[in-house]
């Protein structure tokens, strides 16, 4: 199973954001706090992007199967 690079980068950004020294650094000023939140924003955005991409690929795969087999044939193939 391959793990997409976007998921790895998102988890790395999240890990950096919750790292104890970064958490302490974020309390230094409002700007530092905003930068720490930017890490979480990047992490969430990348995970959302990957989820949307997976959903789009899944829908495209399903449409391709329906085109190849037709609706009735797809059910028959799924049952076998």
Size (the chain), residues: 80
> Which DSSP string corresponds to 3-72?
PPHHHHHHHHHHHHHHSHHHHHHHTS-HHHHHHHHHHHHHHHHHHHHHHHHHHHHHHHHHHHHHHHH-HH
Q: What is the mean pLDDT of residues 45-59?
A: 92
Average pLDDT, the chain: 85
Whether the predicted pLDDT of 76 surpasses 70: no
């Amino acid at each position: 199973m391959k793990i997409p690079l976007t998921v790895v980068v998102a988890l790395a950004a999240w890990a950096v954001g919750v790292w104890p020294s970064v958490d302490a650094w974020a309390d230094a000023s409002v700007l530092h706090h905003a930068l720490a939140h930017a890490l979480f924003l990047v992490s969430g955005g990348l995970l959302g992007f990957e989820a949307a991409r997976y959903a789009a690929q899944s829908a495209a795969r399903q449409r391709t199967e329906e085109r190849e087999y037709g609706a009735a044939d797809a059910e028959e193939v799924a049952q076998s």
